[in-house]
Structure 1
Amino acid sequence: MGKVGKIARRTFLFGAVAVAGGVAFGVYKVRTPYENPLKDGLAEGDATFNPWVVITEKQITLITPHGDKGQGVAHAQAALIAEELDVEFGQFQIDFGKPDKAYWNRALAGDGAPFMATDESFTAEATRSFMGGMIKLLGMQITGGSTAMPDSFDKLREAGAVARETLKLVASKMSGVPVAQLKTAKGAVVLPDGIELAYRALAKEAAQVEPVTEVKLREPSEWRMIGKPMQRLDMVAKSTGTLDYGIDVDVEGMVHAAVMCNPRQGGALNGYDASAAEGMRGVQKVVEVNGGVAVVADNTWRAIQAVQAIDFDWGEAPYPAEQDGHWQAIEASLNDDQLDKEWRNEGDVTAALAGGKAIEAAYRVPYVAHAPLEPLNATVLVEDDKVTVWTGHQIPRMLQDQVARVTGHSSEQIDLVNHFMGGSFGHRLEFKHVELAAEIANQMRGTPVKLTYSREEDFAHDFPRHIGMARGSGAVKDGKVTAMDLQVAMPSVVGSQMGRAGMNVPGPDMQIAAGAWNNPYGLENFRMRAYRVPELAPVSSWRSVGASAGGFFFDSLLDELIHEAGADPLEERIRLMQHDVSRKVLETVGEMSNWGSPLGPNKGRGVAFVESFGVPTAEVIEVTNTAEGITIDKVWVAADVGTVIDPVNFENLVQGGVIFALGHAMNSEITYSDGMAQQANYWDAEGMRLKQCPEIMVRGLENGDQVRGIGEPPVPPAAPALANAIFAATGQRIRELPLYHHIDFA
């Protein structure tokens, strides 16, 4: 029997560390669950058992507080609750719920602590525990870092089990049948004689009893949903165009706004002439906002057309105006003065480089836009005692704080109605668009204002993936890789992103080193140093964050060293791998791809392995060098997430991640000229064309002892695997993204 809210190992460790360190706050609160926010405003006779389940006489509602940006997390959260609650799809509705500390993300500390995912030492676990305690005390409700499933897996099953056992207790009291003789199925308690008492019919009585907290979760052999193919709950609505996104919000009396801010991000607005815009059809108002001007009109198109008619005098950019200046700043930061942290220093790298055949190489990755299909948008109604925000966002409680700062209300007066998001890739971790909508609405109190970015404004004011450069050297001897020295320089994505939220995050930025320092290979001599570049253009989290660059740097250099050694690319990676779960991932992708089998002329295979967010992921890519350019024929992916919750969604997420990553590796970048992003729309940042999309085979492994997320891990290995495959097919080694600068794609 387990008790919900029991002191888990990491909670115990947190307490031990706090006491040992003399910390006099927080231990009790860390162990104390938050109050159930669903009790507020609950109608008489309606039952709530915890922050995730509400049952009334009319319906069953499951709260799925992690934001859904296309990754299917609303469906997955509901499935976890439904698994233990014994309800079927179609018997309940889902709701994102109101922002609340009760929905703090338990998994954030796992990837945020400066330890490898494979490190289970006391120090690593104690640090994660301490960080988890602080995350709880802060009530950090965040969807990101592939943490939604690690956060949800246990607690949402417990939530369903608590509701189930409480309903059985109520049914026992009503029927006189002992709880031990009762079963549940399809939204009802089943008596020994087969009579079914529907959960909804038990709601009124359930509202009068304390929830049962002594619950036993079902064994995997008893699972009805987890691990089985499922049809996502949002599939029909998305297929028929009936799912409501933030951009679909329609509030009575609503007006529409468009904005144009200085395209030199962070630059001043020196002046403007809006006379042409003010006379345009449908225009109701022109208002100044932070860094720019907004036009309010009777529809979005007219607002966009009008704001584009304004004559602006923009100030200069606070970063190098030309792209070459960005590269120069990064290269200049590869020195001891800019060292952020030496993450690994094992063996004697200097001696090994001197004693073996050494190679040197340099690598670069560009800024890259998020560019989700749904443009940034937010609808805001500011009233004297309340602000209502309709949008889709990944950090709802922090969004409340940011809006409150703009309007002068308290955070408790900000009512966020969260929506499905039409993509994000990290874009909807940002607040600027919601702050601008709140600025406009604050100047039009009592009127709902819907702000929608034009695609051009979305590109111009994206906070892209950070730019980066790496220098690497290594040595080989007797057909083996013996040493590697890797130096990576990037601006700090954490410093840039959190700075815009008014937060100062001390210490080294692990994202500069992600995907490179944390690989579980057993290189005898390995040094990895990260250098922090003084802030350039503002940057933000992009799908897989630092690992998208670090994985390319590390695995590309490793592939070059293996080639120099004359070893087999897959076999040498397997030889070097010291982590059993990761080794199995490499072996599996080799078996899937029939690695080593003969290839036809002008063909090549490349393999790459990157661990990100605790998920070891290996990919093999097969290409053909044709007269028209490179074709990507097949991709094989193996990844271990501990438990695959929905194999259909797992496969879709992996395939989508590979397509996303390959398209960006082939074609996409953001470059600056005159301080402005030169790419303004999709035709300037082209992804993968349908005819270019390869066949993608996926296998999810379950050897790891923790549940992990799969939204981001398929991204980092794709670029190096493709570059390695191109080398195998052509002999051309490409060390810079996007690849189209150096080779054509058919």
Structure 2
Amino acid sequence: MASVGKIARRTFLIGSAAIAGGVAFGTYMVKRPIPNPLLDDLADGEAAITPFVKIAAEGVTLITPRADKGQGAYSIQAYLIAEELDIDPKDTIRTPGLPGPAYYNAAVMTEGSPLPAYDESATAETIRSVLRVIPKLFALQMTGGSSTVPDMYDKLRHAGAVARETLKEAAAIRTGFARAQLTTENGHVVTPDGDKIAYTDLAVEAAEIDPITDVELRDPKDWRYLGKPGLTRIDMEPKCTGAEKYGIDLNFDGMLFASICANPGIGGALESFDASAAESMPGVQSIIEVKAGNAGVAVIASNTWYAFQAVNAIECEWGAPAYPATSAEIFANLEAAVNKEDNFDHRQRDEGDVDAALAEGEVFEAQYRIPFLAHAPMEPMNAIVKVTDEKVEIWTGTQIPLFIKNRVAQNLGIEAENVFVYVQPMGGSFGHKLEMTHVEQAAEVAASVKGTPVKFTWSREEDMTHDYPRPASVMHARGKIKDGKVDTFDVSVSQSAMAPGWFGRLTGIGIPGPDATITTGSWDQPFAIPNYRVTGYRAPDMVPVSSWRSVGASGNGFYHDTFLDELIHKAGADPMEERLRLCLHEQSRKVLEEVAELSGWDGPSMGEDKGRGVAFCLSFGVPTAQVIEVTNTDRGIRIDKAFIVADVGRVLDPMNAEAQLTGGMIYALSHAINSELTYENYGPVQNNYHAYEGLRLYQTPQIEVRILENMSGIRGVGEPGVPPAAPALGNAIFAATGQRIREMPFNKHIDFI
């Protein structure tokens, strides 16, 4: 019997395990050691684990490092491991673990390929392979881009299989049976004579042998959980009963509370402040000028409400940030940049001879615009931070834990190895928690009261005002019809760069080259238009912007499909039939055919005052088509029914996949109809939900979803439901009323009921 001891290791290699009183399994096909994402001061009897599975006397621990922001990431990661490990994930301990380079996301950058997702040539696959290596170089542990399942599908299954086979080998040594004679069942190794040995009883013995890494993954037809209609998310019960604990719910004994008022103009200075009124308010303990992140003044108090009240009483003089003060000025800059040579950023689609085609005959032109959009999740930004002389501990919901670890270390002048980030479940994000300004502020505040945990919370108004929003943009489009068909499609999009600013905020490193997000969702659509050009123009940096659910495709899906629908109408063609004729990608064509069948499509007109629209967008490798039916009443537009078809390659959690597509459509319709951020005096006017409404329950249509599995590989489904919704609604409104809407939100141009 092996002795129980302490083995602390800072790196691991595939095929090695560090254990003490337990055994850990993981798979990471790398050629160099990777830092172990664990605390150094492990107590006797604890294990220094490899990334994904730990077996100890206390139980089986599954490490699920992709953050859960409501999309079911923890649950699906646990099922991926458990399916191969042969254990009910509900019988395990599940934790996101501590952040570390071992958890880099290899799939998150593949959306930035210069070749479209429908191109599966050897060249395209080689480029994607290179893009999967880059996150390792930057230790890019992040959650986003619908990449959790594509990135983790093979890794976690292999980790579970390695653990299973190594436990069987340990049981073989103990019992004398050959490993091939042993089976597993619900957390046990089963011998030929029917004896069962719990995994937890084999931990110490398994630690003494080399992990069995040459494993065979189970055939999906033999899966017990994944792909089954009855699969339920592990977090469903606590979320339905209110028992789930989010980051904002955490409380510690002796904790203090804090909030902040920061410059509404992001990046602007704090010139001066008068906190005399706040100093005498109930519960106020101290008032601190904060320089990290966005400059402002923080209050430490005995509860969050007192902190909120006190910061509202502080009078501040703010310096102007380096961008225009109003939306009118911002859109003027966007318009000035489009089609200007000096602002040319990239052109990833240029087929046929667009200029020659446009030089002859009638040219149809249209201009579109989309506004800034806030992320506006239910849970505002928050963090608990405790700073001592030895270490910094941070509890927060985040999609970028390693970036937080490194930035806080830099700001406080300590070693990154002494900063520990404990990732919490999030009450929504939509990309909001790809930022870390609030944690920088919280750490600076907590450093003023060393030894005491400080719960730092943005008010709703602070959260909306200091969001890094979805970029505003404009699109100018020109097109031509020939012989009753769409012949020429030329669109130019102007936007401030998103990716370089975001990455620069996280790393301090600028990204050279073009920003593909300016045209993503437009240049990469699977249509064979004879003369086809999509150009991105980079407007000056203005309001700092960030990723928003479905990133570039969120706006470009509206631009591309609405203009395509306009051209199809000019051609006198059926919107569904012409899209099918133009579609060059078999799987995308099947998605369109399926949505036509599901919706009973027989043309856009449904009779007087009724209409339906179809829209399509391929985003994150998922071809998605939607049909929306509306009625034009004397009080406004009513959305009656909606249909969604998407192809995700392989469905792992059918109910959750349907929920994600449905939720994506509702989220998109909410913003298409109601929402925008408008800027005055450098900050957004809309600072709470009363001015930034979601779709009401009575406005939500009946939605039918069908999911296909024709695509190769496996795709994420958190975002692809967003891009087609706005154009499908706009196209339906046109079919019902003859009114074409080229700007969001739609309620600026038409009423809804």
CA contact (8 A) 1:491 1:533 kept: yes
CA contact (8 A) 1:60 1:92 kept: yes
Q: Where does residue 528 of structure 2 map in the other structure?
A: 522
Correspondences of 1:307-326 after superposition (within 5 Å): 307-326=311-330
Do the aligned partners of residues 257 and 44 (structure 1) sit closer, same or farther apart at CA in structure 2, a change above 3 Å counting?
closer
Residue 679 (structure 2) aligned to one of 672, 696, 700 = 672
CA contact (8 A) 1:46 1:54 kept: no
Query: Does 2:232 match 1:231?
Result: yes
Offset, 1:47: 6.8
Correspondences of 1:3-22 after superposition (within 5 Å): none
Q: Where does residue 260 of structure 1 map in the other structure?
A: 261
Query: Does 2:296 match 1:292?
Result: yes
Tell me, what secondary structure is at the counterpart of 2:504?
helix
Q: Where does residue 276 of structure 1 map in the other structure?
A: 277
- Cα distance in 2, alignment partners of residues 57 and 452 from structure 1: 38
Q: Where does residue 191 of structure 2 map in the other structure?
A: 191
Do the aligned partners of residues 364 and 627 (structure 1) sit closer, same or farther apart at CA in structure 2, a change above 3 Å counting?
same
User: Amino acid of the residue matched to residue 668 of structure 1?
Assistant: S
CA RMSD of the aligned region, Å?
1.8
Q: Residue deviations 1:312-339, cap 9 Å, x none?
A: 1122232111211011000000111100
Deviates more, 1:276-285 or 1:221-230: 221-230
- Cα distance in 1, alignment partners of residues 39 and 415 from structure 2: 21
- Cα distance in 1, alignment partners of residues 678 and 637 from structure 2: 25
Do the aligned partners of residues 5 and 583 (structure 1) sit closer, same or farther apart at CA in structure 2, a change above 3 Å counting?
farther
Q: Where does residue 25 of structure 1 map in the other structure?
A: none
Offset, 1:44: 6.4
Q: Residue deviations 1:701-733, cap 9 Å, x none?
A: 111112110001100110011000000111000
Residue 553 (structure 2) aligned to one of 537, 547, 556 = 547
Tell me, what secondary structure is at the counterpart of 1:648?
helix
User: Amino acid of the residue matched to residue 282 of structure 1?
Assistant: G
- Cα distance in 1, alignment partners of residues 175 and 601 from structure 2: 63
Query: Does 2:706 match 1:702?
Result: no
- Cα distance in 2, alignment partners of residues 511 and 50 from structure 1: 35
Per the normalisation by structure 2, the TM-score is 0.93
User: Amino acid of the residue matched to residue 623 of structure 1?
Assistant: V
Tell me, what secondary structure is at the counterpart of 1:503?
coil
- Cα distance in 2, alignment partners of residues 378 and 365 from structure 1: 32
Residue 438 (structure 1) aligned to one of 436, 443, 446 = 443
Tell me, what secondary structure is at the counterpart of 1:610?
strand
Q: Where does residue 483 of structure 2 map in the other structure?
A: 478
Q: Where does residue 217 of structure 1 map in the other structure?
A: 217
- Cα distance in 2, alignment partners of residues 5 and 589 from structure 1: 45
CA contact (8 A) 1:393 1:418 kept: yes
Q: Where does residue 343 of structure 2 map in the other structure?
A: 338
Q: Where does residue 608 of structure 1 map in the other structure?
A: 615
- Cα distance in 1, alignment partners of residues 115 and 450 from structure 2: 49
Residue 714 (structure 1) aligned to one of 717, 721, 726 = 721
Tell me, what secondary structure is at the counterpart of 1:214?
coil
Q: Where does residue 562 of structure 2 map in the other structure?
A: 556
Q: Where does residue 240 of structure 1 map in the other structure?
A: 241
User: Amino acid of the residue matched to residue 224 of structure 1?
Assistant: R
Q: Where does residue 90 of structure 1 map in the other structure?
A: 90
- Cα distance in 2, alignment partners of residues 321 and 109 from structure 1: 34
Deviates more, 1:590-599 or 1:83-92: 590-599
Correspondences of 1:573-652 after superposition (within 5 Å): 573-596=579-602, 599-652=606-659
Tell me, what secondary structure is at the counterpart of 1:258?
strand
Do the aligned partners of residues 49 and 194 (structure 1) sit closer, same or farther apart at CA in structure 2, a change above 3 Å counting?
farther
CA contact (8 A) 1:348 1:525 kept: yes
Q: Where does residue 489 of structure 1 map in the other structure?
A: 494
Structure 1 unaligned regions, length at least 5 = 7-27
Q: Where does residue 113 of structure 1 map in the other structure?
A: 113
CA contact (8 A) 2:14 2:30 kept: no
- Cα distance in 2, alignment partners of residues 79 and 40 from structure 1: 29
Do the aligned partners of residues 109 and 312 (structure 1) sit closer, same or farther apart at CA in structure 2, a change above 3 Å counting?
closer
Do the aligned partners of residues 519 and 30 (structure 1) sit closer, same or farther apart at CA in structure 2, a change above 3 Å counting?
same
Q: Residue deviations 1:400-448, cap 9 Å, x none?
A: 1111122111111110011000000000000100000011112222121
Offset, 1:45: 6.5
CA contact (8 A) 1:46 1:207 kept: no
Per the normalisation by structure 1, the TM-score is 0.94
Offset, 1:665: 0.4
User: Amino acid of the residue matched to residue 59 of structure 1?
Assistant: G
- Cα distance in 1, alignment partners of residues 423 and 431 from structure 2: 16
Offset, 1:111: 1.0
Offset, 1:130: 2.5
Query: Does 2:413 match 1:412?
Result: no
Residue 537 (structure 1) aligned to one of 537, 543, 546 = 543
- Cα distance in 1, alignment partners of residues 51 and 126 from structure 2: 28
Do the aligned partners of residues 36 and 297 (structure 1) sit closer, same or farther apart at CA in structure 2, a change above 3 Å counting?
closer
Tell me, what secondary structure is at the counterpart of 1:605?
strand
CA contact (8 A) 1:33 1:102 kept: no
Q: Residue deviations 1:91-121, cap 9 Å, x none?
A: 1121010001111112123212222112234
- Cα distance in 2, alignment partners of residues 587 and 483 from structure 1: 24
- Cα distance in 2, alignment partners of residues 112 and 395 from structure 1: 19
Tell me, what secondary structure is at the counterpart of 2:90?
coil
Deviates more, 1:547-556 or 1:104-113: 104-113
- Cα distance in 2, alignment partners of residues 356 and 447 from structure 1: 74
Offset, 1:520: 1.2
User: Amino acid of the residue matched to residue 290 of structure 2?
Assistant: V
- Cα distance in 2, alignment partners of residues 133 and 669 from structure 1: 37
User: Amino acid of the residue matched to residue 243 of structure 1?
Assistant: E
CA contact (8 A) 2:37 2:97 kept: no
Question: How many positions carry a matched residue from both structures?
Answer: 722
Correspondences of 1:562-573 after superposition (within 5 Å): 562-573=568-579
Query: Does 2:658 match 1:654?
Result: no
User: Amino acid of the residue matched to residue 318 of structure 1?
Assistant: A
Residue 429 (structure 2) aligned to one of 408, 424, 429 = 424
Offset, 1:259: 0.1
Q: Where does residue 19 of structure 1 map in the other structure?
A: none
CA contact (8 A) 1:619 1:718 kept: yes
Offset, 1:138: 2.4
Do the aligned partners of residues 345 and 602 (structure 1) sit closer, same or farther apart at CA in structure 2, a change above 3 Å counting?
same
Offset, 1:42: 6.2
User: Amino acid of the residue matched to residue 141 of structure 2?
Assistant: Q
User: Amino acid of the residue matched to residue 725 of structure 2?
Assistant: A
Query: Does 2:698 match 1:691?
Result: yes
CA contact (8 A) 1:295 1:303 kept: yes
Offset, 1:383: 1.1
Deviates more, 1:51-60 or 1:142-151: 51-60
User: Amino acid of the residue matched to residue 627 of structure 1?
Assistant: D
Tell me, what secondary structure is at the counterpart of 1:516?
coil
- Cα distance in 1, alignment partners of residues 89 and 390 from structure 2: 39
Do the aligned partners of residues 292 and 49 (structure 1) sit closer, same or farther apart at CA in structure 2, a change above 3 Å counting?
closer
- Cα distance in 2, alignment partners of residues 344 and 147 from structure 1: 25
Structure 2 unaligned regions, length at least 5 = 1-12, 16-27
Tell me, what secondary structure is at the counterpart of 2:117?
coil
Q: Where does residue 738 of structure 2 map in the other structure?
A: 731
- Cα distance in 1, alignment partners of residues 439 and 234 from structure 2: 28
Q: Where does residue 310 of structure 2 map in the other structure?
A: 306
Tell me, what secondary structure is at the counterpart of 2:273?
strand
Q: Where does residue 163 of structure 1 map in the other structure?
A: 163
Tell me, what secondary structure is at the counterpart of 1:476?
strand
Offset, 1:202: 1.2
Offset, 1:206: 1.3
Q: Residue deviations 1:211-250, cap 9 Å, x none?
A: 1100000112111111113111111111222211111121
- Cα distance in 2, alignment partners of residues 346 and 534 from structure 1: 28
- Cα distance in 1, alignment partners of residues 33 and 391 from structure 2: 28
CA contact (8 A) 1:182 1:192 kept: yes
CA contact (8 A) 2:35 2:100 kept: no
- Cα distance in 2, alignment partners of residues 599 and 134 from structure 1: 50
Q: Where does residue 389 of structure 1 map in the other structure?
A: 394
CA contact (8 A) 2:37 2:99 kept: no
- Cα distance in 2, alignment partners of residues 61 and 458 from structure 1: 35
- Cα distance in 1, alignment partners of residues 362 and 78 from structure 2: 56
User: Amino acid of the residue matched to residue 418 of structure 2?
Assistant: Q
User: Amino acid of the residue matched to residue 557 of structure 1?
Assistant: F
- Cα distance in 1, alignment partners of residues 200 and 38 from structure 2: 17
Q: Residue deviations 1:252-294, cap 9 Å, x none?
A: 2210001000112222211111000000010000000021100
- Cα distance in 1, alignment partners of residues 116 and 686 from structure 2: 37
User: Amino acid of the residue matched to residue 335 of structure 2?
Assistant: E
Deviates more, 1:77-86 or 1:308-317: 308-317
User: Amino acid of the residue matched to residue 329 of structure 2?
Assistant: G
Q: Where does residue 251 of structure 1 map in the other structure?
A: 252
